[in-house]
Structure 1
Amino acid sequence: MSASDSVQIERLVEDYFTGLHRADRALLDTVFDDRAQLQAPGIRRTKAEWLELVVSRPVPAERGDAFAYRLEAIDLFGEQAVVRVYCPLLGREFVDFLSLLKEQGRWRIVNKMYADKP
């Protein structure tokens, strides 16, 4: 993993965490590819469908929830990466697997799989 790619991916993940915590649709829109899919067992959503859910639910930052998200792993191969993150969100604990592609010099999330932490 090049230092540049590592820094870019870490910044993208930090923006993802901030977007979740603040329910910031515009920020989340920048980290996801327009055709991204968001999936969990029994759930399939488009980016637009998921963003609507994010802005319609309670906002963690406004509730006073701790900003306790963390990046757990990056697996990088060329211009593809899979990132595992921990997201405590609205009283639940999620583990997300984010698939990223680097296109036109920018990393974007193209797929998100998530589930409650067992």
Structure 2
Amino acid sequence: MSNVLTDIQSVIGDYFDALYHCDTVLLEKVFHPKAVYATADQTPLLHRTMAEYVPVVAKRQSPASRGEARRDAIDEIQLAGDNTAFARVRCSIGNNDFTDFLTFVREDGRWKIMAKIFQIKPREEGAA
């Protein structure tokens, strides 16, 4: 079981790196091609496919290029079985903090993010 957790943590680490550097090649490596990306923090509800999401990341100025401090954390990982898992993670981009619920599937022995549902919280003035 510890290998499974290590494998999922590795995917999450790559996910954090992809967002921090706006690395779309790495982003496509960690997400399943049919993954869902959504938040109810926008009206109407924001829902994107990977074909819609990856170009958005490609157009961003990366947090790394702006010298932003990394604020990545894994809060929890839960296993539902041999091929399904869930992780609650946190990260920051610009002045926003994100809580992401990531659902994973294992296909052909590799863990991929199948769904990213997230909450956006503007960072308060002076918060580190």
TM-score (norm. length: structure 1): 0.95
Matches within 5 A, 1:1-118: 2-41=1-40, 42-78=45-81, 79-117=83-121
Identity of aligned residues (%): 35
Aligned AA (2:27): L
Q: Point out 4+ residue stretches in structure 1 off by more than 3 angstroms.
A: none
Deviation at 1:50, TM superposition (A): 0.9
Q: Which one has a bigger Cα radius of gyration?
A: 2
CA contact (8 A) 2:70 2:91 kept: no
Aligned AA (2:103): S
Aligned AA (2:7): Q
Structure 2: gaps spanning 5 or more residues: 123-128
User: 3-state SS of the aligned residue for 1:63?
Assistant: coil
Deviation at 1:117, TM superposition (A): 3.4
Structure 1: gaps spanning 5 or more residues: none
Structure with a larger share of its residues in helix: 1
TM-score (norm. length: structure 2): 0.88
- Cα distance in 1 for residues equivalent to 2:63 and 2:94: 6
